[in-house]
Amino acid sequence: MRARQCCEALEQGAILFFARPPFPLPEDDREFLIGQRHMDSRLHKNISYRPGEDVLRGFSDSQESEDRIHQIMRAYSQAVTGFVSRFLSPYAGKLQLDYASFRPLEEQGRDLPLHKRNDLLHVDAFPSRPTRGGRILRVFTNISPSQERIWLTGERFPALAQHYALQAGLGKFCRDGSSLRARLARLLHAARLPVAERTPYDKFMLHFHDWLKENSHFQSGTEKTRVAFPPLATWLVFTDGVPHAALSGRFALEQTFIIPPSALTAPKYAPVQVLENLCGRPLA
């Protein structure tokens, strides 16, 4: 497939799968990460790495292992970014590098508050990083040497929104989209001035994430596909457009990118555009 076709397929909701990481991920590094037994503690939910500031979060053990993990996460983040810039060349130079994470805990049977549960079908939205209509692209690798990572996926965003967005209360967010406040924020943003406030799009996506997890009819009634990612599998997916639930598996590495609306190759599939069509007015 050509790069542009890959971008289009991803934006339409495909999951692109590699049997092995298509970028350097040394065996030593993988073994070091999965050998950190103390990570069984519930305190260490995820390790996150912020490439922009070169900061590692969520880890506290000996300085020595922390330094090594920091170095592994930095190299991993750079390797994935290099790969994505080449493989998805239409995004090169435009993608925003977001956080990377290491997810050491078994997903099955985790005792988490409802909105944080990974085993309920949802689309991603970040409370701390509004995308203003940009899309969330994630690259995952299952670094478990023996265990599959099991996902469920649901109908893609255009159908999902058609079936559930109005029920979830989209109408209110549509009205906010044409408020004076939202229009002013759009003007400021267009003039490249900093706008701290979330757009009505960001607010709806956060709300929808929670609403989907709360909705037992959606969780039990909707059609789902089970996907098994074997050890070392690597997959790319827009997690704002593909409803997903992680049922089981441990030891996943992940790097997130934000693809701004102007870089998209199939913008009509972008959640912001799907929702704006339902609203008949701008949301971001």
Binding site for Fe ion (CB under 5 A): 124
> Of 198 and 244, which CB lies nearer to Fe ion in the complex structure?
244
> Of 11 and 124, which CB lies nearer to Fe ion in the complex structure?
124
Q: What end-to-end distance do the CA atoms of the chain give, in Å?
A: 32
> Of 36 and 142, which CB lies nearer to Fe ion in the complex structure?
142
SS3 176: helix
Distance in angstroms (rounded) separating the CA atoms of residues 284 and 242? 20
Q: What angle do the packed helices 271-279 and 200-214 form, to 10 degrees?
A: 100
SS3 174: helix
Q: How far is the CB of 258 from Fe ion (least distance, A)?
A: 15
Q: How far is the CB of 246 from Fe ion (least distance, A)?
A: 7
SS3 117: coil
> Of 176 and 210, which CB lies nearer to Fe ion in the complex structure?
210
Tokens standing for residue 78: 């750079």
The residue number with the shortest CB distance to Fe ion is: 124
> Of 36 and 151, which CB lies nearer to Fe ion in the complex structure?
151
Q: How far is the CB of 266 from Fe ion (least distance, A)?
A: 21
Cβ-based neighbours of 61, under 8 Å, separated by 6 or more = 36, 38
Q: How far is the CB of 123 from Fe ion (least distance, A)?
A: 8
Q: How far is the CB of 3 from Fe ion (least distance, A)?
A: 25
SS3 35: coil
